[in-house]
Structure 1
């Protein structure tokens, strides 16, 4: 693939720091990007993903789907010169953990009410 066909991406983390930039083929999937982010994640961060499923990627205000390609996710910029595209990374808890926490929060609570009628 010719060098000029590659898309240059960097990933902005919650604290404003970046991972990348890296060059990707337009045929690379969002799932591939997420896997790379997990492997490149800085070890000194307080919050870190345990796996690719803990990450959401946002580009131009849209959450990207895992099965979409980089080429499908690019926002057309008309005649602007090629540059680095910044995607935002959101770390979210895994679904299993979120469901467990929700079940705990939804457990029935006993309310004790002491009322007196005068």
Structure 2
């Protein structure tokens, strides 16, 4: 899934996938199972490492009473809701370069 978000101080082209076949070749060659990067002012910042325990650590903080409150999380929840409910429009406008990749089969065998 790919899309485009325009925010107050950022334009974001995103590509989300759980399929390892969509990873960049250099990530696959280095044995990575995930790939995260930002492009800012023409410079790529790759930050795939360090996310292995992200959800576990987040849940731990929540259970310790150190998590984000509803007001802090509201904008993020709104963005996720918008992405989930967006209607597909195809490759139009300022799309993510990975969006042109050939669709691969779902890693769990699901058909969409």
Q: Identify the TM-score tier after normalising by the shorter chain.
A: under 0.3
**Larger Cα-atom Rg:** 1
Q: Which has the higher helix share?
A: 2
Greater fraction strand: 1
TM-score using structure 1 length: 0.21
TM-score by length of 2: 0.22
